[in-house]
Amino acid sequence: MDPSPTEVSVALTASTFLMALAFESNMRGIVSAVARIKNDDNIIAKIILFTNAASMLQIVGFEWANYTSKSTCAPVNLLSNLAYHLMMLSFDAFLLYKTWLVSSKQRRVLIPAAVLVLHRLCWGIVDLMHSFGTWDVASQACIWIPDPNAAYGFYSADILCDLFSTVATVLICRRYLSSDIRKLFV
């Protein structure tokens, strides 16, 4: 059974409200990152800046896709999907980079982290190649047709990045619990 126009309107209003909150949070993140870059040019602030900008682009694309026409449906959805993958890839890179720093830049953390980022990148490319937006004549709306296999791949890749970052950081920090705390800052 298809949702009623009222249900669709409520869902669209709620999603727009949540996207507006996320957009505002991204704006604060960008302002904070720019201030950090001005004071101390560091890679973490640049990654934060890029992640927030990509998130804002994805939000604009998502919202635009809800009001697009037949001629702009596919390119708007492609833009939104590209921004989504850039946002998630940069966030995964941020987590893995911080994990590498916590490890005192150990190679045994860097190599798996690099493999995980490349793995996520590949799944993002697969999704960009196989998922698409199309105009639905019956509902007169732009709809997104995701590739389910790619979705499993990139969601799994994100989970692997999170899991690796969490487990590695806990193990690294656990090692220092029984030693001098100054080792964390070397």
Amino acid at 179: S
pLDDT in tens, 87-112: 999 999 999 999 999 999 999 999 99
- Centre a 10 Å sphere on the Cβ of residue 56 and count the other Cβ atoms it contains: 21
- Full-model pTM: 0.83
At residue 82, does pLDDT exceed 80? yes
At residue 143, does pLDDT exceed 80? yes
Q: Which residues of 16-55 are buried (b: 16+ CB within 10 A; e: fewer)?
A: eeebeebbeebeebbeebeebbeeeeeeebebbbbbbbbb
Cβ neighbours for 86, distance < 8 A, ≥ 6 positions apart: 50, 54, 57
For the chain, the helix, strand and coil percentages under 3-state DSSP, each to the nearest 5: 80, 5, 15
